[in-house]
Amino acid sequence: MENIYLTIALAPLLGAIIAGFFGGMLGRKATHTITILGVLVSTVLALYVFNHHVLEKGEIFNQNLYTWMQIGSLNISVGFLIDNLTSVMLVVVSFVSLMVHIYTIGYMDDDDGYTKFFSYISLFTFSMFMLVMSNNFMQLFFGWEAVGLVSYLLIGFWHHKESAVEANLKAFLVNRVGDFGFLLGIGLVLAFSGSLDYAEVFSSLDNTTNQQLWGLDLITVICLLLFVGAMGKSAQVPLHVWLPGSMEGPTPISALIHAATMVTAGIFMVSRMSPMFELSDVALTVVMVIGAITALFMGLLGIVQNDIKKVVAYSTLSQLGYMTVALGVSAYSVAIFHLMTHAFFKALLFLGAGSVIVAMHHEQDIRKMGGLRKKMPITYWTALVGTLALIGFPGFAGFYSKDMIIEAVHFSSLPYAEWVYYAVVAGVFITAFYSFRMFFLVFHGKSRVDHHTEEHLHESAPSITFPLIALAIPSAVIGYFTIDPMLFNGWLDNAITIDAEKHVSMTELSNIFHGAAAMIPHAVQTLPFWMMVGGIATAWVFSLYRTQWADWVQNKFHRTNYALESLYGFDRFNEIVFVGGIKKLGNLLWKVSDMGIIDKIAVNGSARLVGFIGSVVRPIQTGYVYHYAFFMIFSLLIILTWVLFAGDNPLLQIEF
Amino acid sequence: MELLSLLIWLPILGGALVILIGNNRADTARWASVAISIVVFVVSLSLYTEFDSSTHLMQFEEKVSWISQFNINYHIGIDGISMPLIILTTFSTILVIIAGWEVITRRTAHYMAAFLIMEGLIIGVFSSLDAILFYAFWEASLIPMLLIIGIWGGDNRVYAAIKFFLYTFLGSVMLLVSLIYMYNKGGSFGILDMHNLNLTLAEQSYIFWAFFVAFAVKVPMFPVHTWLPDAHVQAPTGGSVILAAIMLKMGGYGFFRFSLPITPDASLEFSDVVIALSLIAIVYIGFVALVQRDMKKLIAYSSISHMGFVTLGVFALFSILTMGADGSLVSLNGGSIDGALLGLEGAMVQMISHGFISAAMFLVVGVLYDRLHSREISTYGGVINSMPKFTGFAVLFAMANAGLPGTSGFVGEFMVILGAVQANIWYAVLAATTLIVGAAYTLWMVKRVFWGSITNDAVKTLKDINGREFLILAILAAAVLIVGLYPQPIIEVMHSSIEHLLNQALTSKL
């Protein structure tokens, strides 16, 4: 099996290397064929691995490939841990990546950086595989930062755009803030366990009992620091600010990296670390609350966005918040379940948005669209599937995962769980509202498309519509088929640890679960369903039925509207306090301390002092040899006298 | 001649030969220089292949009496600490000679010869086992660098050269005094004898600070770092490369070879001060780097900040371990021997990695400077449009400078931070800020120089790197990636020596 795992990771890497170095030579067709083939190999093998581990319940594979370094008794290796969690992630990542690769053929058709783009997305796929297959913290961190690197390169792919290269710098640095915490967390893990290997770390968790740091339990501090890393990568408030900016990148990578895979790395990581998080209710509570804040408040921002990609981006933030909430209430498998369904339907929505953008000649403002339903039937129907899945319409994939999250919060006994429950239920209304607002504005109603574009408006090429269809299918049905095995029949059991006595959510969920089919009729009797219907209705009223009402509401609640449109002021705050403050501090240190105190006063000052002494002594340097000779002889006499008669051990003792 | 002597004298004699070839036959001088440097490098590789990494004892040892009245010997030998630094030296010298190929048109032969001679002298520094021999090489290696800055430097080269010389000379005078003191006490200039010389705490303290001044200036540590930005800005590209890649390492090496084993108790006593200065270097200098407008200055400050990890990694061990009454190592704050080793070996890896990355960064600036004769960030913008290949390299090295995993820049920082956690979590917190600040100053520069659209017409006319430049950058890129993906070979060779050093550092002389 080892070779299979290795091939899964290396096939896309090989594709990336070939495309990167020889893409220009090989031409477009050969390049995309090679990279797609690489990812296809990974996808097929990932399915095989999934079958082997999950369906046939194969043994967990945990082996090192090579020793990265050996320091005393500490071994840090590159190695693979393949259990059911990894297997699920492999399938999700490889499948979405494959779809995005195919989609790129159509989407990047007229771009000069065609081959480079393929190289990057294959490199990303490799990095993501290394992240999810890792069996230790070092490699996890490697994958973690490597996906960050590719994200950086891809957000700034159109490097001539100032906004794109602003956004990629911001994305990298905000992620680094998260990594700052993450790395310290890893350092503390090593300190208590003496290892970076997951299995060894988890088996030495007893070492942390009764240990304190910064007034908290050591394990709480560690979990919180690791979670800071997750907050960066999975864009949780207040480290979410980079994700909307990342929309500057080409749409395929928004789908692959900034919706389906990379941004869920934080969710994956916390699930992987479940044995540690289970030991700290404080950390879990923080995780849950941060998740709820993100789910609710980022969703609200989706309502006021008019850029088609920004709407989907804020929706992604909000959904990541839902996953984080699930982690907080110890429903790790539900979080992974939502991660999976979200990967499909959010990739679908992004790719659908991309299809619209291409048709609209790169116009992204939804106020300038409308009535696209007729012109783009495949895009329309697949987008509808994606939207219904996103808002949790009964039967669709997102329905199962989101409903389970809401129920899991309901059963949680953590402090503030009730408030979080209200937040996630309210989130359902908001999600339905902004999703259908966008859907109606783009596809329904009268066309607001400008005349020139209108003439050329047509359905996208097959390379674009095929991935849409291929993603629409799981977006519709995957929840129905996988909820039972994934949550209640042990698909993820060998990777996730839950302290069932303290954290009862999963147990309670399985008590009330009576099959996927039974959930649909039951849903109609629940609050979230009616919140969703309310959301759709509100969207219909404001965007189709009485559009002027929307303006009225905006004017009436202009303060709220201002808060939303200024994105709660996060960007402005960061710009002034962090960017501005740090530049000021840097200048102060440089000019005052470095050039002023050290250089001017200390260094040049002492140079001047030497100069001053020199100017005093200079008259002695008369240039006459006999003056020098006199001084030499005179000095010699003094020294000799000292050596002979005085000092500690005079050579000649004189008796007086 | 034995292998190690060959490595010292071959480049020096080769340099003399190149001077004889003369500036008029520049091409012959170039080819002769590159041939000599390659031969030296290949010879130095046999230090690695024939190295016995199971022992901390000195290898390839040679000892000939030099000045017998004072028991001064031509005594050389290497262990796992000096060997990697010697190979780094021979490696870097090839690069600077190729880098100066068609760029240096004035006194070409002298330029090449200066680097070859300096190479031999620096190898001498790293392999000396006699303190006077060490001192002689240490001082002598200043001269070629002084000349390189003074002759081939920028407009303000004389100020920079003198500042460089005075700073480092001041440090080394103190070093000489303390070496003579120990000779008077122990009757030997042998460095290994000094390791075993019993010294009181007071004596150790004086000697420690004398050493400290000498080595801290070279590293350079805050607050004696201000010569470095000036020296770098004025030095020609090759000078900057050797200065950053190797000469700074002489300071770090001094802490390993002299301070810890000769004055262990004083090192313990003052370790907090050194750590504080290291952390100031990492954090404070990071902020200073952020606001630089001159690319070379920015990289110079970044160097200081990165070298802070070296001194932090070395001195953190005193907060991790102590020697128990029975001679076994005892943990202080729940840290482990592994933690202390991570610090020390991390410091070594950081030195080597910094050798590659800073060299690469200065070469990158050199490539731009050769074309537009400006080091100002604001001159550039959108360089990727005219130099895509070059930008690929530049971004890779920038990422390495920002400590991206998979590059060598990550390895040392990662190790030192993991070690520092076990010394004091706050050390780690402050050191880890480099993750943010280091990325900020490096990538912000990348953004302003390489990304964006072209605003300056001159940038439009830039030609992408030629074969020679490609070769140098590709070699460095390979080195950065290999060390990043597989650092074990480097760690393996140093391990026995570092373990021995750890014991020496924790064994009290009182």
Q: Which residue has the tokens 């998260």?
A: A178
Residue B437 near residue B429 (C-beta atoms within 8 A)? no
User: Per residue in B169-180, pLDDT tens?
Assistant: 777 888 888 998
Partner-chain contact A172 B287, CB within 8 Å: no
pLDDT number for residue B48: 93
The larger pLDDT score, comparing residue A605 to residue B318, is at B318
pLDDT number for residue A645: 64
Residue B144 lies in a domain: no
pLDDT number for residue A314: 93
Q: What percent of chain A has pLDDT over 90?
A: 53
Mean pLDDT of A289-295: 94
Candidates B288, B293, B386, B396, partner chain A, best to mutate (most A CBs within 10 A): B288
Residue A411, token pair as written in the block: 């059963």
Going from the C-alpha of A645 to that of each of A352, A633, A636, B243, the distances in angstroms are: 101, 18, 14, 50
Partner-chain contact A68 B337, CB within 8 Å: no
User: Per residue in B118-132, pLDDT tens?
Assistant: 999 999 999 999 999
Average pLDDT, chain B: 91
Mean pLDDT of B68-88: 92
CB environment A489-505: b (16+ within 10 A), e (fewer):
eebbeebbbbeeeebbb
pLDDT number for residue A406: 92
Mean pLDDT of A40-49: 94
For the CA atoms of A635, A636, A642, A643, what is the dihedral angle to 10 degrees?
A: 150
Residue B203 lies in a domain: no
Helices within A51-155 (DSSP H only): 84-107, 114-133, 137-155
Partner-chain contact B488 A69, CB within 8 Å: yes
Phi, psi of B245 (to 5 degrees): -75, -35
User: Per residue in A482-519, pLDDT tens?
Assistant: 998 888 888 888 888 888 888 888 888 888 888 888 88
Separation of alpha carbons A555 and A502, rounded Å: 48
Residue B391 lies in a domain: yes
Mean pLDDT of A253-280: 92
DSSP B106: S
Residue B510, token pair as written in the block: 């009182």
pLDDT number for residue A647: 58
Contacts of A582 in chain B (CB under 8 A): 287, 290, 440
pLDDT surpasses 60 at A524: yes
A182 lies within 8 A of chain B by CB: no
Element holding B74 (H helix, E strand): strand B72-78
Contacts of B320 in chain A (CB under 8 A): none
3-class state of residue A29 by DSSP = helix
pLDDT number for residue A55: 87
pLDDT number for residue A176: 94
Q: Residue B303's domain spans which residues?
A: 270-510
Please name the residues in contact with A301: beta carbons below 8 A apart, sequence gap of 6 or more: A314, A317, A564, A567, A568
* ipTM for this prediction: 0.92
DSSP A459: P
If pLDDT is split at 50, 70 and 90, which confidence band does A219 have?
very high
A602 lies within 8 A of chain B by CB: yes
Mean pLDDT of A267-273: 94
pLDDT number for residue A253: 92
Rg (CA), chain B: 22
User: Per residue in B142-163, pLDDT tens?
Assistant: 889 988 988 898 888 888 888 8
What number of H helices and E strands is found in chain A?
31, 4
Separation of alpha carbons A412 and A328, rounded Å: 9
What is the residue type of A29? Answer: K
Mean pLDDT of B87-100: 93
pLDDT number for residue A623: 63
A169 lies within 8 A of chain B by CB: yes
pLDDT surpasses 90 at A335: yes
Separation of alpha carbons A264 and A109, rounded Å: 28
Residue among B328, B327, B325, B329 at smallest CA distance from B341: B329
User: Per residue in B439-491, pLDDT tens?
Assistant: 999 999 999 999 988 888 888 888 899 999 999 999 999 999 999 999 999 99
Neighbour count for residue A653 (Cβ, 10 Å): 8
Q: Cis (ω within 30 of 0) for the bond into B223? A: yes
Residue B427 lies in a domain: yes
Contacts of A191 in chain B (CB under 8 A): 334-336, 339, 421-422
Average pLDDT, chain A: 88
pLDDT number for residue A370: 82
pLDDT number for residue B154: 83
Residue B429 lies in a domain: yes
If pLDDT is split at 50, 70 and 90, which confidence band does A617 have?
low
A624 lies within 8 A of chain B by CB: no
DSSP A461: P
pLDDT number for residue B325: 77
pLDDT number for residue A652: 57
pLDDT number for residue A655: 52
Mean pLDDT of A199-214: 87
The larger pLDDT score, comparing residue B104 to residue A344, is at A344
Facing B486 at nearest CB: one of A68, A179, A599: A68
Residue B48 lies in a domain: no
Residue B8 lies in a domain: no
pLDDT surpasses 90 at B115: yes
3-class state of residue A195 by DSSP = coil
Facing B291 at nearest CB: one of A166, A184, A590: A590
Separation of alpha carbons A115 and A103, rounded Å: 14
Phi, psi of B451 (to 5 degrees): -85, -175
pLDDT surpasses 80 at A622: no
β-pairing, A216-217 vs A212-213, is: antiparallel
Partner-chain contact B499 A72, CB within 8 Å: yes
pLDDT number for residue A507: 86
> C-alpha A211: how far from its chain's center?
31
pLDDT surpasses 90 at B336: no
Residue among B137, B143, B85, B156 at smallest CA distance from B115: B143
Count: domains in chain B: 1
Separation of alpha carbons B471 and A272, rounded Å: 43
User: Per residue in A132-156, pLDDT tens?
Assistant: 999 999 999 999 999 999 999 999 9
Residue B345 lies in a domain: yes
User: Per residue in B184-226, pLDDT tens?
Assistant: 888 889 999 999 999 899 989 999 999 999 999 988 888 888 8
User: Per residue in A61-92, pLDDT tens?
Assistant: 999 999 999 998 899 999 999 999 999 999 99
User: Per residue in A90-137, pLDDT tens?
Assistant: 999 999 999 999 999 988 888 888 999 999 999 999 999 999 999 999
pLDDT number for residue A574: 84
Give the gap in angstroms from C-alpha B125 to the nearest C-alpha of chain A.
27
Q: Which residue has the tokens 């006021």?
A: A304
pLDDT surpasses 70 at A653: no
3-class state of residue A66 by DSSP = strand
User: Across-strand partners of B117?
Assistant: none
